[in-house]
Structure 1
């Protein structure tokens, strides 16, 4: 896609991911405003992207930013890859094609934290507007939206076994995990159409490309925001070695994700003043919360089974069935989420304990972590990757939740539902608490859902208002998963699209 023929637009959207594609399409619908959508990566039309079962091959790689965490203190100082897509569609182009709205208490928690307009009753109609649901129509399901959502077609026998294993050990089955409750075993809703990944590029961006008022520029990395005092007037981008300044007449909207949006603010002088001064970056607005509040779901990779009986190849996304549950009584929403993977899954540190490729894994995860990390710059050069301290498992509560999740997964895997596959648990096996904790520290990895570095709210630690305007800066918003004050207990792609739809309503009002 070519450079813009003009250097001024009504709106500039930075990042063509789940939120950015949605926002660019919505802002150009009425034909009144010109929009420039900037994307540092390139096309998403690659065979390994379009085939939804091949998502694990996409990172690290040329379609990924290649971010690495700092050594993780609670995980034996291991370094973890932080997958972030670098192409049109963003992480919707390299994730597992899962579509989940979230638990009603996820959003009611945002509401209680001081974010009016973000409760479950507020966001449910937005999800309904987005979705083109292919299954039975219940009270909360709708058709006609831009996003194709469906149950897995002809699910893998392992996924069927997992869905049936829950009731065998006393857990409920959940026929619709998108009705505001999640508890129980379920088949994921997927954004896969006719065997091919279906993303925001297909649902939002491509239909909008014919509009004269939308310009999409790929291979363009935004290096910093242009500011006149505390008013954002445009952006500086780097493309093919050439720096270009582009003006926004109305607003600049950061949709560069949990890492990119925070990094762009910091590089532009918006963030913790002391940190910026230490790097020689002139302070425009002292916002201590920029880069803080980093949260991510944490996977245990994984409970692995070696099978004597040959298994069919993985189907659909290779991860068709899941379970949400609570690790202890008294929680207002699930805090653990096991996922059935139709292939072995382990960290490099534990590879020797999984001898065969003919097997599968049940990957437990904690989805309401108490641990918080931080992102910060190490250089004033906007092209230098920031330092990412994921800080996994630093709270005892997270370790306790993961222990409960691991034992629940082992119980599921040992149920008679899996007997036909003649599987033998090879990792982790029956261990003492001390041994299991040691294994968890070696097996912990990102579930690819980082959020929170540009927190929404009104407190001194917040970066954006409940309408997503950056505190202290005019004509600048952040619209992506980085604004989430607390991570929802579900995969974050669907909520990111919802955030963009709500933002578009406010911007166009």
Structure 2
């Protein structure tokens, strides 16, 4: 097996990994390993208008399914994330939201709002974030939200999201996406950096002192090994980072022993505390064509607050205005094969391509295009779920996927908040100037509780905000410390959304980049593990 030596090995070239690798490579030899392609091989990942095509493209996202979800009618939920240099930040809608300052009250000391703002600001200075000006229809949505009790506020990054709606910041510049790849790696003079795309990491190797000595990976059809001089930094995301640790012998002892994986470090918290934002989309048909293209209009609220919408309270739900003409075709091309192919047939790429072709044909029909041209949605997002899922191994074989249990709606609190949030979204749609739009989804209509929950169970999907599966904290249940080092190991850090203790109410891309920036700060400041 061919072996090379580096000071640092960064596993995962996504939103977090690009930042960590770029900052460390300024003064050290760094290897960045990414399972997906080079971003430049996919122009849609570089364009600010390309997000819908990137989302639908077969090779740009991991094809994963959750375990059957008991509170979603036994359905398996698609759990794809970006699989390209730039990661999910190369295929998402470019939403940049820090979260509410009260989100960080549940994070450990040293990670509260005032602690993390400097890192957010440093990332933003490189990305150049800004809101997009609202179009006529986006303004109509915001006016209706104000009539429903929301306060109008654009930017949404001052830390107070209680009861507000406005145009959120987005990471774009002209016609270009400003992902962490574009801002930190693309065109940068980093002679210490080696980037390997198409590299599938199999496991970490450890010496007797629990020091990671090497990373085993496959590249260009051959097994390789990267020897670690100082540290390995895991940035593979909340679904892959715990999987890699488990394969390497770091995790719950009983689970590892059951699969005959030698235990390097018994750590019960690896793969636990998984969180995500489940959502449903309530579709309406407006009286005029929809004229905006981006997920640029957001609202936040505490759906069950007895005093109603107001600033100063912790929001627990998010409301996004979705323009169907902008990306419904591409969304259906991605999701229809997953929703319609039974059993493991959805794993057959040829069948997925066939169904995507049929969707494309349907959207070529003038009648369909005219109908969709006036359709919009209100995406209702459960922003502060209390349910917790797991990532676990079913095999010691690195080629076998992990079992991902998202545990949607596993608590009564989550079910209650989602029900209240749907009523809040219906209230927005009922106010002028949206009043008069025809409800299309069952959830958008006035129905009984039983029928509403039947619809929720069938309509729920992920918002792709997976986090928390390697929680950081000072408590014994947290497997990662507040300097992002895996407890009990000598030189392994986690620097991605895996470490999030409690999910923010907002999108996770900005917090993921903030975590990565701080991880590099810790390492560069000499906090070697």
Q: Does 1:505 align with 2:484?
A: no
Q: Which residue of 2 aligns with 1:116?
A: 109
Q: Which residue of 2 aligns with 1:140?
A: none
- SS of equivalent residue, structure 1 residue 452: coil
Note the C-alpha offset of 1:459. Answer: 2.6
What CA distance in whole angstroms lies between the structure 1 residues aligned with 2:502 and 2:126? 27
What CA distance in whole angstroms lies between the structure 2 residues aligned with 1:60 and 1:407? 34
Q: Does 1:321 align with 2:297?
A: yes
What CA distance in whole angstroms lies between the structure 2 residues aligned with 1:56 and 1:391? 28
Note the C-alpha offset of 1:148. Answer: 1.6
Note the C-alpha offset of 1:310. Answer: 3.3
Q: Is the 8 A contact 1:233 1:475 kept in 2?
A: no
What CA distance in whole angstroms lies between the structure 1 residues aligned with 2:522 and 2:31? 19
Note the C-alpha offset of 1:55. Answer: 3.1
TM-score, normalised via structure 2 length: 0.86
Note the C-alpha offset of 1:59. Answer: 4.6
What CA distance in whole angstroms lies between the structure 1 residues aligned with 2:431 and 2:178? 34
Please list the CA deviations of residues 90-123 of structure 1 after superposition, one character each: whole Å capped at 9, or x if unmatched. Answer: 110111100011111111220xxxx221011100
Q: Please, which of 473, 476, 483 is the counterpart of residue 467 of structure 1?
A: 483
Please list the CA deviations of residues 57-115 of structure 1 after superposition, one character each: whole Å capped at 9, or x if unmatched. Answer: 425721111011111000100111112111000110111100011111111220xxxx2
- SS of equivalent residue, structure 2 residue 482: coil
Q: Is the 8 A contact 1:174 1:186 kept in 2?
A: yes
Q: Which residue of 2 aligns with 1:134?
A: none
- SS of equivalent residue, structure 1 residue 177: coil
Q: Please, which of 50, 73, 86 is the counterpart of residue 46 of structure 2?
A: 50
1:173-212 correspondence to structure 2 within 5 Å: 173-183=152-162, 184-208=164-188, 210-212=189-191
Q: Which residue of 2 aligns with 1:12?
A: 9
Q: Which residue of 1 aligns with 2:315?
A: 334
1:469-508 correspondence to structure 2 within 5 Å: 469-508=485-524
Q: Which residue of 1 aligns with 2:437?
A: 423
What CA distance in whole angstroms lies between the structure 2 residues aligned with 1:67 and 1:401? 27
Q: Which residue of 1 aligns with 2:270?
A: 290
Please list the CA deviations of residues 306-342 of structure 1 after superposition, one character each: whole Å capped at 9, or x if unmatched. Answer: 2343333x42x2x110100001228951100010001
Q: Which residue of 2 aligns with 1:36?
A: 31
Q: Which residue of 2 aligns with 1:73?
A: 70
- SS of equivalent residue, structure 1 residue 467: coil
Q: Does 1:226 align with 2:205?
A: yes
What CA distance in whole angstroms lies between the structure 2 residues aligned with 1:408 and 1:279? 47
Q: Please, which of 98, 103, 106 is the counterpart of residue 101 of structure 1?
A: 98
Note the C-alpha offset of 1:54. Answer: 4.6
Q: Which residue of 1 aligns with 2:88?
A: 91
Note the C-alpha offset of 1:188. Answer: 1.3
Q: Is the 8 A contact 2:166 2:299 kept in 1?
A: yes
- SS of equivalent residue, structure 1 residue 237: strand
Note the C-alpha offset of 1:51. Answer: 3.9
Q: Which residue of 2 aligns with 1:166?
A: 145
- SS of equivalent residue, structure 2 residue 51: helix
TM-score, normalised via structure 1 length: 0.89
What CA distance in whole angstroms lies between the structure 1 residues aligned with 2:412 and 2:57? 30
Structure 1: where are the runs of 5+ without partners?
132-144
| Bigger shift: residues 214-223 or 330-339 | 330-339
What RMSD, in angstroms, separates the aligned Cα atoms of the two structures?
2.3
Please list the CA deviations of residues 346-403 of structure 1 after superposition, one character each: whole Å capped at 9, or x if unmatched. Answer: 986799xxx8423110111111001111110111111211010111011111111111
Q: Which residue of 2 aligns with 1:367?
A: 383
Note the C-alpha offset of 1:56. Answer: 4.2
Q: Is the 8 A contact 1:288 1:460 kept in 2?
A: no
- SS of equivalent residue, structure 1 residue 338: strand
Q: Which residue of 2 aligns with 1:135?
A: none
- SS of equivalent residue, structure 1 residue 322: strand
Q: Which residue of 2 aligns with 1:216?
A: 195
Q: Is the 8 A contact 1:60 1:83 kept in 2?
A: no
Please list the CA deviations of residues 160-203 of structure 1 after superposition, one character each: whole Å capped at 9, or x if unmatched. Answer: 11222122122211233101111211101001211332101111
Q: Is the 8 A contact 1:60 1:81 kept in 2?
A: no
Q: Which residue of 2 aligns with 1:435?
A: 451
Q: Is the 8 A contact 1:341 1:360 kept in 2?
A: yes
Q: Please, which of 264, 267, 286 is the counterpart of residue 307 of structure 1?
A: 286
Q: Is the 8 A contact 2:3 2:227 kept in 1?
A: no
- SS of equivalent residue, structure 2 residue 215: strand
What CA distance in whole angstroms lies between the structure 1 residues aligned with 2:13 and 2:109? 27
Note the C-alpha offset of 1:240. Answer: 2.3
What CA distance in whole angstroms lies between the structure 2 residues aligned with 1:239 and 1:501? 28
